[in-house]
């Protein structure tokens, strides 16, 4: 059987999911079904969805709240996929489903594994002051992001770059990793490398409330939070004058010389004392919520 005749079952979301699905469809690969989900209510609609692309190409779309039911086990068994791909899919894919793929199942994760297993890896990497992130295509297993790596690419970023500046480079890297790996997956000949367990780190899901600024931290820590959850994410915020103020962009100012943390020393520009230096807002928004 030719590789382009083999049945690919796609699980995916976000810009990476969309771009990888588009690549397969443009190149004539046989995608037999698309599993996806709706955008989170707190999430900005900044990317095209695999759902819209699948419908344009008359591919069946499924959006179950959970895959952990006999209905979906039977459905996937009936579809007889040769290959299962998880490309930024956010729900758990049970072993009863991913084990059905004759050629295996693989997941794209948005970090340079084994670091930053778990959710929101790029946001966490920026918040933690890292100088790089990345993407990794790995074997799908029962536990999140634990499987042997097929291919990965490191994405470096500067200490003052915002998540919105970096995300497109992460997406580009993911597409490169995917396109150079797909044929080996369909051949059943991918070369895999086990993850170094001594270098594992794990971070959990973030919520909008996790963007609340703690001015008792250093200005660098506050600045990293601001740039790590800025647009297109919900943003870092603080209650200023009784109103929720979102800090979209900022810079680190001068030493506070003992000014208590959280003290607003200027409104134009908005300047707040942190543990060591001031944080100076460059773009803010007063939210009604």
Closest C-alpha to 128, from 203, 196, 231: 203
Task: Quickly count: other Cβ atoms within 10 Å of residue 250's Cβ.
Answer: 26
Above 90 in pLDDT, residue 263?
yes
Angle in degrees, 0-180, between the axes of helices 163-187 and 14-26, rounded to the nearest 10: 40
pTM above 0.95, yes or no: no
Closest C-alpha to 237, from 222, 255, 221: 222
Tell me the pLDDT tens digit for each residue of 39-77. Answer: 765 655 667 889 999 999 999 999 999 999 999 999 999
Question: Which phi and psi angles does 217 have, rounded to 5°?
Answer: -85, 170
- Of 36-40, 77-81, 138-142, 160-164, which gets the smallest average pLDDT? 36-40
Token code pair at residue 105: 């199942």
What is the rounded end-to-end Cα distance, in angstroms, of the chain? 56
Euclidean distance between CA atoms 223 and 182, whole angstroms: 39
List Cβ<8 Å contacts ≥24 apart for 40-44.
42/207, 42/208, 42/234, 43/233, 43/234, 44/231, 44/232, 44/233, 44/234
Tell me the pLDDT tens digit for each residue of 128-158. Answer: 999 999 999 999 999 999 999 999 999 999 9
Euclidean distance between CA atoms 24 and 142, whole angstroms: 26
Per the CB < 8 A criterion, the answer to whether 261 and 151 are in contact is: no
Average pLDDT over residues 203-224: 96
Residue with structure tokens 């994410």? 233
Average pLDDT of the chain?
A: 95
Confidence of residue 288 (pLDDT cuts 50, 70, 90): confident
Task: Quickly count: other Cβ atoms within 10 Å of residue 241's Cβ.
Answer: 9
């Amino acid at each position: 059987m030719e590789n382009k005749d083999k049945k690919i079952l796609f699980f995916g979301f976000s810009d990476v999911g969309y771009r990888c699905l588009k690549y397969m469809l443009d190149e004539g690969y046989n995608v037999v079904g698309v599993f996806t989900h709706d955008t989170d209510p707190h999430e900005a609609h900044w990317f095209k969805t695999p759902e819209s692309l699948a419908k344009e190409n008359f591919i069946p779309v499924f959006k179950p709240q959970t895959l952990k039911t006999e209905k979906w086990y039977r459905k996937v068994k009936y579809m007889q996929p040769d290959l299962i791909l998880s490309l930024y899919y956010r729900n758990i894919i049970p072993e009863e489903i991913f084990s059905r793929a004759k050629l295996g199942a693989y997941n794209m994760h948005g970090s340079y594994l084994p670091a930053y297993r778990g959710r929101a890896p790029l946001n966490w990497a920026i918040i933690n002051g890292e100088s790089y992130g990345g993407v990794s295509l790995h074997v799908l297993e029962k536990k999140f992001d634990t499987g042997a790596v097929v291919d990965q690419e490191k994405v470096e970023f500067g200490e003052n770059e915002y998540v919105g500046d970096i995300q497109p480079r992460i997406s580009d890297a993911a597409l490169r990793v995917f396109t150079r790996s797909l044929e080996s997956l369909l051949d059943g000949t991918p070369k895999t490398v086990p993850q170094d367990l001594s270098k594992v780190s794990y971070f959990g899901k973030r919520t909008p409330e996790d963007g609340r600024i703690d001015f008792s931290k250093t200005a660098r820590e506050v600045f990293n939070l601001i740039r790590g959850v800025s647009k297109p994410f919900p943003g870092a915020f603080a209650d200023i004058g009784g109103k929720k103020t979102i800090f979209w962009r900022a810079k680190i100012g001068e030493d506070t010389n003992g000014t208590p943390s959280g003290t607003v020393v200027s409104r134009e520009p908005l300047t707040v004392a942190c543990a060591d230096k001031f944080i100076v807002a460059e773009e803010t928004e007063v939210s009604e919520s």
